[in-house]
Amino acid sequence: MIKSNFKIIYIALILGITLLLFGSINSQQNKIGDIRDGNRATPIHLLKLFDADSVQILKNDSLQIPLSTRYTCGECHSYNVINRGFHFNYADKKIASGRRSEPYIYMDWQKLTIIPLSNRDWKGTFNPAEIGISPMKFLDLFGTHLPGGGVGEIDSLISPDELFRMEVSGKLEVNCFACHDATRQYDPAEYSSQVQKQNYKWAPAGATSLAVVTGNASKMPENYDIYTPSTFADIDVRTTSPPAINYDLSKFNSNNMVFFDLKRKGENERCYYCHSSVHADNNYLNQWKSEEDVHIAKGMNCVDCHRNGLDHQMARGYRDEAEDFKRPELKSYTCEGCHLGVENRLETAGKNGAPTPLHKGMPNIHFEKLECTVCHSGNLPKENVELVKSSRAHKLGLHKSNKEPELFPHIQSTVFVRNENGRLEPSNIIYPSFWGIKKGDEIKPIPISDFDDSFNERIELDTLVNYGKWISINDSTLIDVLKYLNESSGNKENHVFITGGKVFEMNDGELESYREESAEYYSWAIGHNVRPASQSLGVNGCDDCHSFSSDFFFGNVLVESSVKSDSANYNSMTYYSDLNTVYQKLFSLTFLFRPWMKIMIIIFALIIIFVFVIYVSKGLFFITERGTALSSKEEMNNV
């Protein structure tokens, strides 16, 4: 009897394992839209809509539910594969971080706080969780320019404290329309607006022309349920209303299918919503004065270089990307890959008609020490490095966005920073500013939830409104605040203030400041706008960089500090380029005399050649003369 029971359990186990294996293999099978059949025409997307419970949405449903991209788009495309793509995997620790890029910048000017954040392992950034920013808080702060997925959707990343709120708002699924909607009616600002209202599950549909979304989930109670009217019976609809979606019913056909005008290759406009960068100067905000990236001007799209497959692992196009992600094919999507060919294999060169650069007269050492972008990308160097605004840092593109040129945070560009490979690259930089706790050599920001309500008053700001001017405090205020923070922790923790590249801390009752790595600037390389050869750095000759007052070497970078006694310091560009200022000045001097030097060397060379030719001619004459004389003598002897 016992033996037969074991037999049954054994068979059941084998069956179970087989089913599990089959299920897992089955789940990894490609869906109909994952692989193309080779036809180069874009397939028509006439789709059934599905909600977040994978129930089909019908034209005549009495209660209209927002569509879910997971189930609507996921019907034909492997959503889970896409959801691990570059734009969505930022919180996945298993994925390589790659080169440092633009962080999410947490800013609270009343607390003098600017902190670069990233879930990726980028040196100089802090993980949002480290400063007490929960996933939902992260979406509140930065979700306007997030294309969904990641912390907005993955269960393991959602904080247990926010599960109920997430039930109200729904999950912020991957917004496929953000890139692939080819209509002019897609409104990314509307998507941002819906995210700001925590209408997460309504946001993708609300941004399309298919539906209009109203209401505000953030105002709903935690027990709010769209299927149960009693949960929102108490809501004062004069001030707010429950989130709702109204589909344009004319777009449904008789089979309850909706046509979506979708494109595999996202349009540039779609990328620009989250990836714009512009001079903060008012003059440049007038678009007619700004230039387009040369690739775009020539008719290319962002995704012609920043390509991806179904896995949505975008090619970022930087030099070491292939090694970082162990994908050798990425080498051919760098500047060199298209313009020179990978390791001189010409088949990768010339993609999209990329011309081969001549670089006439440019010593090859430049290609060892500089990234291509140094001469071809970013703003041309100026005496004082300029401010730029970016979509994500300054919430550009939102309805009623702040258009002040000097809006926080202050991102300086172009700064030429030496990267991990020892090459210079044009970069944007910001200086962090925050109140932190020092443990040993490590300094971490105080979690934002640890500040009590009275903190802002202690800083004694002389303004309640601020449109961009950097706020600074007196030493006495700083001492008071540091003392208060230390005392509030029972003097168990050593509180510091980081600003302007320095650490300020109390030491035996005295305020002291010093430079430290954790207080240093955060920089990220910029690749655009790419300028053509005729507008590149160096087109006017060596003097573009190698001159005594070169902005490339000696431009001024402002180190903004929140401490009055330490404010308005400037660093020379050589500080960021890790170069010696004296040496660069001396080397520049050699270019001052270079025209004369060239003439002198030519004269010397001509003299040497002249002497050589004369004496070699003489020598040849001598040899032939002696040869003839000797021959004649021998002949005479013979006679």
Partner 1 sequence: MYRYIALIVIIGLSYFLYTKFKQKGILWNEVYSRFMDGVKISIGNIKSRNKSDFLYKLRLGFYWFTIILVFLLIVTSFIPVVILGIHISGLFLLIHVIAALFFCFSFTGLVLLTAHSNKLLDSDLINQENKNKLYEKLSYWCIILFSIPAIVSIILMLYPIFGSEGIEFLNDTHRYSVLLLIVAATINTYYMIINNKKIN
514 contributes a contact to partner 1 by CB under 8 A: no
11, 604, 628, 631: residue in contact with partner 1 (rule CB under 8 A): 604
Residue corresponding to tokens 């109204």: 246
Question: CB of 493 within 8 A of CB of 442?
Answer: no
- List the x/- string, 363-392, binding to partner 1 by CB under 8 A: xxx-xxx-----------------------
SS3 546: coil
Helices 581-592 + 594-638 axis angle, to 10 = 60
Edge-first strand listing for the sheet containing 56-57: 56-57, 45-50, 257-260
362 contributes a contact to partner 1 by CB under 8 A: yes
Q: 90 or 575, CB closer to partner 1?
A: 575
21, 35, 58, 605: residue in contact with partner 1 (rule CB under 8 A): 605
Residue corresponding to tokens 């962080």: 103
In the chain the first and final C-alpha atoms are separated, in Å, by 132
Q: 297 or 605, CB closer to partner 1?
A: 605
As given in the structure block, the two tokens for residue 588 are 């520049």
Task: Using the rule CB under 8 A, give the single segment among 259-267, 273-281, 561-569, 605-613 that binds partner 1.
Answer: 605-613
- The conformation of residue 542, written as its DSSP 8-state character, comes to G
612, 617, 624, 632: residue in contact with partner 1 (rule CB under 8 A): 612
Question: CB of 217 within 8 A of CB of 200?
Answer: yes
594 contributes a contact to partner 1 by CB under 8 A: yes
637 contributes a contact to partner 1 by CB under 8 A: no
- The conformation of residue 574, written as its DSSP 8-state character, comes to H
Angle at 481 (CA atoms; ends 477, 483), nearest 5 degrees: 115
602 contributes a contact to partner 1 by CB under 8 A: yes
Among positive and negative, which fits the CA dihedral 420, 421, 424, 427? negative
Smallest gap, in angstroms, from Cβ of residue 147 to partner 1? Answer: 40
465 contributes a contact to partner 1 by CB under 8 A: no
592 contributes a contact to partner 1 by CB under 8 A: no
| CA–CA distance, 20 with 28 (Å, rounded to integer) | 12
Task: Using the rule CB under 8 A, give the single segment among 26-34, 193-201, 346-354, 587-595 that binds partner 1.
Answer: 587-595
94, 360, 400, 492: residue in contact with partner 1 (rule CB under 8 A): 360
Contacts for 418 with CB less than 8 Å, ≥ 6 apart? 424, 425, 576, 577, 578
Smallest gap, in angstroms, from Cβ of residue 611 to partner 1? Answer: 5
15, 17, 58, 611: residue in contact with partner 1 (rule CB under 8 A): 611
Smallest gap, in angstroms, from Cβ of residue 382 to partner 1? Answer: 25
601 contributes a contact to partner 1 by CB under 8 A: yes
19, 21, 96, 586: residue in contact with partner 1 (rule CB under 8 A): 586
Q: 44 or 630, CB closer to partner 1?
A: 630
3-state helix, strand, coil in the chain (%, to 5): 40, 15, 45
Among positive and negative, which fits the CA dihedral 558, 562, 567, 571? negative
15 contributes a contact to partner 1 by CB under 8 A: no
Q: 447 or 619, CB closer to partner 1?
A: 619
Smallest gap, in angstroms, from Cβ of residue 360 to partner 1? Answer: 4
The length of the chain, given as a count of residues: 639
Specify whether the backbone of 603 is left (phi greater than 0), alpha (psi in -120 to 50) or beta.
alpha
As given in the structure block, the two tokens for residue 290 are 């700004």
14, 15, 58, 609: residue in contact with partner 1 (rule CB under 8 A): 609
Smallest gap, in angstroms, from Cβ of residue 604 to partner 1? Answer: 4
Pairing of β 442-445 and β 494-499 = unpaired
As given in the structure block, the two tokens for residue 555 are 């431009």
346 contributes a contact to partner 1 by CB under 8 A: no
| CA–CA distance, 365 with 285 (Å, rounded to integer) | 37
259 contributes a contact to partner 1 by CB under 8 A: no
H or E segment and range at residue 553: helix 551-554
Q: How many residues of this chain bind partner 1 (CB under 8 A)?
A: 36
Smallest gap, in angstroms, from Cβ of residue 345 to partner 1? Answer: 16
| 298-327 positions binding partner 1, by CB under 8 A | none
Which spans of this chain sit near partner 1 (rule: CB under 8 A)?
357-365, 367-369, 583, 586-587, 590, 594, 597-598, 600-602, 604-605, 607-609, 611-612, 615-616, 618-619, 622-623, 626
